[in-house]
Amino acid sequence: MNPRSSGAAFEERALARLQRAGLRLLARNFTTRYGELDLVMQDADTLVFVEVRYRRHGDFGGGAASIGPAKRERLIKAAQLFLQAQPQLAASPCRFDVLAFDGERDAPRCEWQRAAFDFN
C-alpha cells in the first residue's frame, strides 16, 4: 500500500469514528499553500480541524508526537485560510483534534486527542 492510499484509509477510519461520536463532516483534504487539513468537522457549535496520523512504530512517541511546532503552525495557517474561505463559519469556536493511529495496519490503536493544541 502506498503512503497516499494508506493515509486515505486512515482518514476513512478517523472519519467513521468521528461521525459515530456525532461530529458532522464539513470538508475533507482542504489544501492550502501551508498544507492540508485532513478533516474539518462540526461538533455541535464548534468547528474542529482534525489531523490524522498513522505510525506503525511508537518508538518516537507515535503519531500524535509527530506533530511538532512547525506542523502546528502550518495547520493553524491552513485553518485561518479555511475560515477566510468560509466566512459564515468564522465566528464559530474552533479546536484542533488529532486522531493518532499506532501499531499494525490491520489492528491499530487509536487515540483521539481533543483540543490537542490551539490557535496560540
54-59: long-range contacts, CB 8 A cutoff, minimum separation 24: 54/6, 54/7, 54/10, 54/100, 54/101, 54/102, 54/105, 54/108, 55/100, 55/101, 55/102, 56/102, 56/103, 56/104, 56/105, 57/102, 58/102, 58/103
Q: What is the pLDDT of residue 59?
A: 57
Please check the confidence at residue 105 and state whether its pLDDT lies above 80: no
Please check the confidence at residue 99 and state whether its pLDDT lies above 60: yes
Number of H helices, E strands in the chain: 3, 5
Q: 38 with 52: CB under 8 angstroms?
A: yes
Q: What's the average model confidence in pLDDT over 74-88?
A: 96
Share of the chain above pLDDT 90, in %: 65
6 vs 40: which has the higher pLDDT: 40
Q: What is the pLDDT of residue 83?
A: 96
Look up the CATH architecture of domain 3-114: 3-Layer(aba) Sandwich (3.40)
Burial of 3 (0-12, 13-18, 19+ CB in 10 A): exposed
Cell readout for 113 is 486527542
The mean pLDDT value of the chain amounts to 87
For residues 92 and 107, give the distance between their C-alpha atoms in angstroms, rounded to a whole number. Answer: 35
Q: What is the pLDDT of residue 68?
A: 87
Q: What is the pLDDT of residue 3?
A: 47
Please check the confidence at residue 110 and state whether its pLDDT lies above 70: yes
Please check the confidence at residue 62 and state whether its pLDDT lies above 60: no
